[in-house]
Amino acid sequence: MKFKALKGIQDILPPETSGWQRIEAAAREIFKTYGFREIRLPVIESTEIFLRSIGETTDIVEKEMYTFTDKADRSVTLRPEGTAPFVRAFVEHHLFNEPPPQKFYYMGPMFRYERPQAGRQRQFHQIGVEALGVEDPKIDAEIISLLLLLLEKIGIKDAQCEVTSIGCVQCRPAFRAALKDFFKDRLGLFCDDCKRRYELNPLRILDCKVEACINGRQGAPSVIDFLCGDCTEHFNGVQYYLKLLSVPYTVNPGLVRGLDYYMRTAFEIKNYSLGAQNAVAAGGRYNGLVEEFGGPKIPGIGFAIGVERIVTLLTGLSDGHEGPDVFLCSLSSEAGEKTAVLAGQLRLEGLWVEISYDKSSLRSQMRRADRLRAKNVIVVGEDEMKSQTAVIKNMQDKTEISAALDAGEILRIIRGSK
Ligand code: ATP
Ligand code: MG
């Protein structure tokens, strides 16, 4: 074969696409009830947008970004995530002037140059929400509860919700120092990446997926013990409201997000049947980000769902694409024109209609109808054109009903027989 999709980048084919449509439709429906509106953002941005916000010493920025120089020698990057571009747009279009909370959702492809493996593609898709302008922990709990409701609606079972607080600029330095202290004498046990992280971003060691590092960090200090008064109060508030909203969760102080803009609330939804790449969705609070992008001091919180990982959990479901409602066979060119017109009228009413395109025999047209699993077949030949009536053959119960060659009547009979 001459051409192939790039490594780690997948075509999404039917019938899987209908699973995607179902997920997207469920998301749109639920987001609407929470007052989230869709925002569509470019997939390519200035590189600086990601460097500053995600953090220069994170895996995404250090290793995973698709960064190029364009023809004008500008550095551009295919977005590795949605929040930084969102905040760029939020500030650029003064969306903060709308009454808070400002609530938006997005869906679309993200790009990370990762080693392709199960659950990790280089182009993958996220559905995410962002809610800005509210500091109160009530909204943190509401966002987490929305995420779980969506997963439930999609049909994801065993979604484990883990929550923590990762503190703020006030309390994080002390935690960072305690971590460094803890890791200092055992650094030999850790992978090369973690040795580097030790200097630059020791919190990231807590997120390393290498087994030696997972073992090496047993007994490390817990972020919860270092939270300042305000962060503790906020985290208590989040948990209070999670309980109020009957959201099942566990506190996992080992949870760290791979993006530096997060503070206080961080959460992940895991499904342990997925193996190593078990996070299906993740999010957190980002109170300083709007200001960093040149906007006013406005807090924010959001999450992103990894659509591929959700789809993996849904395999085996029927795609609902069962077969055409009606197949119109035609036995003359005049009949071919009539069926083409009828097909258009019936499709306008929402029926899935197939016609034949050549002068093939009735037998071969019937064979095609069969292969497509058509629910009804109408044969239009010279006699039918003369009488302007035809027989609607129901292929499931084998009944036959005579009908005028008229879209309204055909529709009525087919709808009635469904
Ligand atoms: P991980 O720890 O699995 O690398 P992450 O912290 O890099 O995840 P986020 O940036 O929080 O991921 O993205 C949110 C969700 O997007 C993840 O929980 C996951 O479901 C999905 N995701 C992230 N990277 C990929 C990828 N390369 N391929 C497929 N899905 C991904
Ligand atoms: Mg990652």
Query: Separation of 334 CA from ligand 2 center, angstroms?
Result: 60
Instruction: Let me know: does 389 contact 404? Beta carbons within 8 Å.
Output: yes
Question: What is the reported pLDDT for 57?
Answer: 81
Residue 305 Cα: closest atom of ligand 1: 15
Superfamily for the 16-171+227-313 domain: Bira Bifunctional Protein; Domain 2 (3.30.930.10)
Question: What's the one-letter identity of residue 136?
Answer: D
Could you say which ligand is closest to the alpha carbon of residue 111? 1
Q: Are 114 and 120 in contact (CB under 8 A)?
A: yes
pLDDT for the residue numbered 317: 58
Q: Which ligand is nearest to the CA of 123?
A: 1
What pLDDT, on a 0 to 100 scale, did the predictor assign at position 242?
98
Atom of ligand 1 nearest to the CA of 64: 27
What integer is the mean pLDDT of 103-126?
97
- Distance from the CA of 41 to the center of ligand 2, in angstroms? 21
Phi and psi at residue 273, in whole multiples of 5°? -75, -10
The token pair that represents 294 in the structure block: 């040149």
Q: Ligand 1 atom 19: the closest Cα is on which residue?
A: 306
Ligand 1 atom 21: residue of nearest CA: 306
Burial of 310-341, coded b for 16+ CB within 10 Å and e otherwise, reads bbbbeeeeeeeeebbbbbbbbbeeebbebbee
Residues β-bridged to residue 77: 45, 67
Write the pLDDT tens digit of every residue in 293-337.
999 999 999 999 999 999 988 866 556 668 999 999 999 999 999
Residue 23 Cα to ligand 1 midpoint, Å, equals 17
Contact yes or no for 170/229 (Cβ under 8 A): no
**Ligand closest to CA 81:** 1
Ligand 1 pocket: which of 63, 106, 121, 126 to mutate (most atoms within 8 A of CB): 126
Closest atom of ligand 1 to CA, residue 259: 10
- Please give the distance of CA 231 from its chain centroid, rounded to a whole number: 30
pLDDT digits (tens, 9 = 90+) for 204-247: 888 888 899 999 999 999 999 999 999 999 999 999 999 999 99
pLDDT at 179 over 80: yes
Q: Which residue among 53, 54, 66, 110 is best mutated to probe the pocket of ligand 1, counting the most ligand atoms within 8 A of its Cβ?
A: 110
Rounded distance from Cα 34 to ligand 1 centre (Å): 24
Taking the centre of ligand 2 as the mean of its atom positions, its distance from the CA of residue 75, in whole angstroms, is: 22
Q: How far apart are CA 405 and CA 181, in angstroms?
A: 84
pLDDT category at 114 given cuts 50, 70, 90 is very high
Report the C-alpha dihedral over residues 32, 28, 90, 268, rounded to 10 degrees: 100
From the list 10, 58, 100, the residue with the least C-alpha distance to 311 is 10
| Amino acid 140: pLDDT | 98
Average pLDDT, the chain: 94
Sheet containing 102-111: order of strands: 37-38, 102-111, 123-132, 300-306, 279-285, 263-270, 160-165, 250-251
Three-class secondary structure of residue 401 per DSSP:
strand
The residue whose C-alpha atom lies closest to atom 26 belonging to ligand 1 is 120
Angle of helix 137-154 versus helix 16-33 axis, rounded to 10 = 150
Residue 28, pLDDT score: 98
Q: 326-416 architecture in CATH?
A: 3-Layer(aba) Sandwich (3.40)
Q: Which amino acid is at 292?
A: E
Nearest ligand to the C-alpha atom of residue 310: 1
Q: Largest Cα–Cα distance in the chain?
A: 94
Long-range contacts of 89-94 (CB under 8 A, 24+ apart): 89/39, 89/41, 90/130, 90/132, 90/290, 90/293, 90/295, 91/290, 91/293, 91/294, 91/295
To test the pocket of ligand 1, the residue of 308, 313, 314 to mutate (highest count of ligand atoms within 8 Å of its CB) is 308
> What are the tokens at 354?
């197939």
Query: Measured in angstroms, how far is the CA atom of residue 224 from the centroid of ligand 1?
Result: 24
Q: Could you tell me the two tokens for 94?
A: 């003064």
Residues 6+ apart with CB under 8 A from 104: 36, 37, 38, 39, 86, 90, 95, 129, 130
43-97 confidence digits (pLDDT tens): 999 999 999 899 888 889 989 999 999 999 999 999 999 999 999 999 999 999 9
Q: Pick from 168, 123, 103: which is nearest to 301 by CA?
A: 103
Contact between 143 and 301 under an 8 Å Cβ cutoff? The reply is: yes
Token duo for residue 412:
């009525």
Instruction: Tell me what pLDDT residue 52 has.
Output: 87
Nearest ligand 1 atom to the CA of 257 is 6
**Predicted pLDDT of residue 67:** 97
> What average pLDDT does this structure show over 393-416?
95
CA distance between the termini of the chain: 44
What pLDDT digit, counting tens, does each position of 154-178 carry? 999 889 999 999 999 999 999 999 9
As a whole-number percent, the residues of the chain with pLDDT over 70 amount to: 98
Residue in the structure block whose two tokens are 């808070």 = 100
Q: Is 315 helix (H, G, I), strand (E, B) or coil?
A: coil
Report the separation in Å between the CA atom of 281 and the middle of ligand 1, taken as the mean of its atom positions: 7
- Rounded mean pLDDT, 182-196: 91
- Which residue has 């250090």 as its token pair? 62
Residue 15 and residue 300: Cα distance in Å, rounded? 37
Q: What is the pLDDT of residues 325-379, one digit of tens each?
A: 999 999 999 999 999 999 999 999 999 999 999 888 999 999 999 999 999 999 9
Q: Which residues line ligand 1 (CB under 6 A)?
A: 81, 112, 114, 119-121, 124, 126, 258, 277, 279-282, 304, 306, 308-309
pLDDT at 408 over 70: yes
How far is the centre of ligand 1, averaged over its atoms, from the C-alpha of 402 (Å)? Answer: 57
Q: Is 331 helix (H, G, I), strand (E, B) or coil?
A: coil
Helix (H) or strand (E) holding 145: helix 137-154
**pLDDT surpasses 60 at 418:** no
Distance, CA 55 to ligand 2 centroid (Å)?
A: 14
Domain spans of the chain, in order of start: 16-171+227-313, 326-416
